[in-house]
Amino acid sequence: MPSHHPGADALGRRALLTAGAGAALALVLPTTTATAAPNGRPDHFGPFGRFGSPAARLTERTLYVHPGGLGDHTTVQAAVTAASGAGWTLVLAPGTYRETVSVSAARTGMTWIGASGDARDVVVVYDNAAGTPRPEGGTYGTSGSATTTVQADGFTAQGVTFANDFLRSDLPGNPGTQAVALKVQGDRSAFFHCRFLGHQDTLYADSTSLSAFARQYFAHCYVEGDVDFVFGRARAVFEHCHFRTLVRTDLAGAPYGFVFAPSTAGGNPYGFLASRCRITSEAPDGYYKLARPWVPSSDTTAWPSLVVRESVLGHGIDAVAPYANMRDAYPWQAQRFAEYRNTGPGAAVSVPENRPQLGAAQAATATRETYLGDWIPRKPCA
């Protein structure tokens, strides 16, 4: 990784990305000592809260990660590597884990639990971008930029922040500014009360192949970014999530970016569904589009699908023209984009042809149950 010398604004942004995690390092204390947890509550149970410890494991397939050495491992990747096979649980103590992590397809049924219950306290972060040079030559590309990559089926995370704190000022003039916080490809992947932080291409909801219709579920999560920051070809359901669009000082005018960029495979009947969510913005009114379709050169038969329903769209969304083309050869009007009963200033319908709406019968099938089929996501802990 090259040395980075961001300016004062960039350093401030990095601090914001990982806010809430720094105080966690104070937990490098004997486990018998009651300390102050980052959320302000007394930490009577040690750094792993109510989830046991290496001396009192919840199960024999539970591993504990602590950046100061009070767990089985000090890095998340070391714990993932040690968790060979299926059905492992990783309990992550509060802290900032600056590393890249890869969960291979063989590690099915893996669960990550943030021990404090507050995702701001447990941050997995790195700063690779698509244009970042690899030590062995070449660049990482979009997929290779991911801080965390999950290929395994049945992955679940609760109370964890996945972040990529690359900043455009790190590689001035380089167009490779895609910087993924999480790339998830597995079927039955669930995220509860997690945060996904970045700028361009923050959350890559993907699958392992065009024929693999990976089902993914995000509940009560927070996602922020600017360009296409929720993208990919997965069959992904977002419920009660908060999407936050960021201000950009490198652009003089609108649009700053796009919230969704689905690339749904043509054979997949369902793409992205955002239900009972909200979209807020740091940017001026109308500076963001709700979505644009991504038809990648590797799959020109893609038929992007997005439904946003019963959600609150704030002032940041361009209500007059909420959709745009990524390439004119694949106009958004030819894709599967629709809305249903959205509210807020960004949802106002002033030009009906620019805002396709579902009818009641169509909306009855645009549900979590339809998208996820026989899979019912379950939180790992209450």
Tell me whether the omega of the peptide bond preceding residue 380 falls within 30 degrees of 0, making it cis.
Answer: no
Residue with tokens 């059905």: 87
Strand, coil or helix: what is 56? Answer: strand
Q: Of 131, 161, 159, which Cα lies nearest the Cα of 145?
A: 131
pLDDT confidence of residue 167: 97
CA pair distance 344, 353, nearest whole angstrom: 19
Mean pLDDT over 358-365 rounds to 97
CB 76 within 8 A of CB 162: no
* 8 — pLDDT class (breaks 50, 70, 90): very low
92 pLDDT more than 50 = yes
11 or 52, which is more confident? 52
Q: Among residues of the chain, what percentage have pLDDT more than 70?
A: 88
Instruction: Count Cβ atoms below 10 Å from residue 82 Cβ, excluding itself.
Output: 12
pLDDT confidence of residue 2: 29
27 or 126, which is more confident? 126
Strand, coil or helix: what is 103? Answer: strand
pLDDT confidence of residue 202: 98
Q: Of 187, 200, 164, 280, which Cα lies nearest the Cα of 236?
A: 187
CA pair distance 102, 96, nearest whole angstrom: 17
Q: Of 189, 107, 124, which Cα lies nearest the Cα of 156?
A: 189
Strand, coil or helix: what is 64? Answer: strand
Question: Which tens digits make up the pLDDT trace of 123-162?
Answer: 999 999 999 999 999 999 999 999 999 999 999 999 999 9
Instruction: Count Cβ atoms below 10 Å from residue 7 Cβ, excluding itself.
Output: 10
CA 19 to chain centre: 17
According to DSSP, residue 120 is labeled: G
Mean pLDDT over 166-190 rounds to 97
Q: Among residues of the chain, what percentage have pLDDT more than 90?
A: 87
* 265 — pLDDT class (breaks 50, 70, 90): very high
